[in-house]
Structure 1
Amino acid sequence: SAANVQAGARTKASRVLHGVWLLVFAAAFPAALGIVPVAALAGVLIHAGWKLLPWKSWRPLWREHRGEAVVLLVTALAIVTVNMFEGVLIGLLLAIAKTAWETSHVHLDIHTPDDDGQPVLVRAVGNATFLRLPKILDQLDALPDHRDVELDLSGLRHLDHACEAALTNWAEQHRRSLRAVELVS
């Protein structure tokens, strides 16, 4: 449809007719496609794909959304080097992985009172998933050894099973070391 618009299409009907014409010619003249060399079809596909890449907006895209730019570049390279289906599949899987990584942000707000008798207050905010579990456990393990801990999970929008089990195990281990750990959810 982008190639159609670049060719001068202005209405929704032109998009529909563009698809209809492609379907009619592919269905009515399949033998004609067999005569065209595969290298020529590949060249047309690469040329059309090249025109669809947003080269003018590449720098702003790279500055503002590097993850999106990497997904676009890897998808384009995969389509050219492997084949169209697998290239699009690689791009889709990469986009899903990027989205999962970005949505799994979690932040621990740690407040250590000056009085040694007061517990260290740790408040988790965001989405706690297995993707960020090592970061969470590293921050919890860096807490002072001699202080009690109050771990507030009420700021979490999502807590997956792996994180819940790991936090429960962490609290149990620290309770065994004669430290009080209170989980607030």
Structure 2
Amino acid sequence: LCGALGALPMTAVIVRSAANVQAGARTKASRVLHGVWLLLFAALVPAALGLIPVAALAGILVYSGWKLIPLKELGPLWREHRGEALILVATAVAIIATSMFEGVLAGLLLAVAKTAWETSHVHVQVDEGSDRNGPLRVVLSGNATFLRLPRILDTLEGLPKDRHIELDLLDLRHVDHACSTALTNWADRHNKEKGVARVLMPSA
């Protein structure tokens, strides 16, 4: 059943799947037969399995795993996507230091954190214009999330308190609730400090 459904207890483990593919497997029958061989050996010759040295099994596993490493692609990966390369190295170290499950989980968490950081990228541009007495224009673009909120607020708090400021959010692809509330509160505070703040929000 595990082989037919492609469930994790059978051959979704990458080394076993790779061994099947390298042996010429093309259909789900390879997964089913994988389970059949395990069942036959465990049921008919369990004593023979106990005679196999654990070191030999470990050596086969290490060899199969080593063949999965794309050595030729590591160089281009480091040059073009250093973040991905660092996650790869961190995952490998975590697997060696702990276990397969904990190492893969650590790598997954790092990948999620990296993705969240990249998708929260926001660009803040301050345009003073030609007239020094005119309004300051602050343009935000990208994704405004709580991860970049400190940077946004630091920029806004550094602006003159008595200037007319136009905060343009029209180029933002996403604004989360935390950012929206913080920007509204900043505009209210600026208006109370003898300045004028105008917020251009994208339409819903």
TM range (shorter): 0.7 to 0.9
Equivalent of residue 60 in structure 1, options 68, 71, 76: 76
For the pair 1:75 / 2:91, whether they are aligned, the reply is yes
Distance 1:69 1:122, change over 3 A: same
Q: For residue 114 of structure 2, what is the aligned residue in structure 1?
A: 98
Moved more, 33-42 or 16-25: 33-42
Moved more, 170-179 or 149-158: 170-179
Equivalent of residue 123 in structure 1, options 118, 139, 149: 139
Q: For residue 142 of structure 1, what is the aligned residue in structure 2?
A: 158
8 Å CA contact retained: 1:116, 1:147: no
Shift of 1:2: 3.6
Equivalent of residue 23 in structure 1, options 35, 57, 60: 35
Q: For residue 179 of structure 1, what is the aligned residue in structure 2?
A: 195
1:6-65 alpha-carbon deviations (Å, 9 max, x no partner) = x352x633xx34322322223333447972555544443333222212211111100100
1:112-155 alpha-carbon deviations (Å, 9 max, x no partner) = 12323321111111111111111111222232343211101111
Q: Give the match's secondary structure for 2:194.
A: coil
8 Å CA contact retained: 2:142, 2:171: yes
The alignment's TM-score, normalised by the length of structure 1, stands at 0.85
| Aligned equivalents of 1:115, 1:69: Cα separation in 2 | 48
| Aligned equivalents of 2:133, 2:70: Cα separation in 1 | 59
Distance 1:3 1:116, change over 3 A: same
1:45-87 alpha-carbon deviations (Å, 9 max, x no partner) = 3332222122111111001001111111111222222111111
Structure 2 residues not aligned, in runs of 5+: 1-16
Structure 1 residues not aligned, in runs of 5+: none
Distance 1:55 1:105, change over 3 A: same
Q: Give the match's secondary structure for 2:163.
A: coil
8 Å CA contact retained: 1:127, 1:158: yes
Distance 1:95 1:32, change over 3 A: farther
Percent sequence identity is 54
Distance 1:8 1:141, change over 3 A: same
Shift of 1:156: 0.9
| Aligned equivalents of 1:33, 1:151: Cα separation in 2 | 75
8 Å CA contact retained: 1:126, 1:158: yes
Distance 1:18 1:108, change over 3 A: same
- The list of structure 1 runs, each at least 4 consecutive aligned residues, that deviate by more than 6 angstroms after superposition, is none
| Aligned equivalents of 1:33, 1:109: Cα separation in 2 | 71
| Aligned equivalents of 1:108, 1:39: Cα separation in 2 | 57
Distance 1:49 1:112, change over 3 A: same
Q: For residue 108 of structure 1, what is the aligned residue in structure 2?
A: 124
Moved more, 79-88 or 94-103: 79-88
Q: For residue 26 of structure 2, what is the aligned residue in structure 1?
A: 12
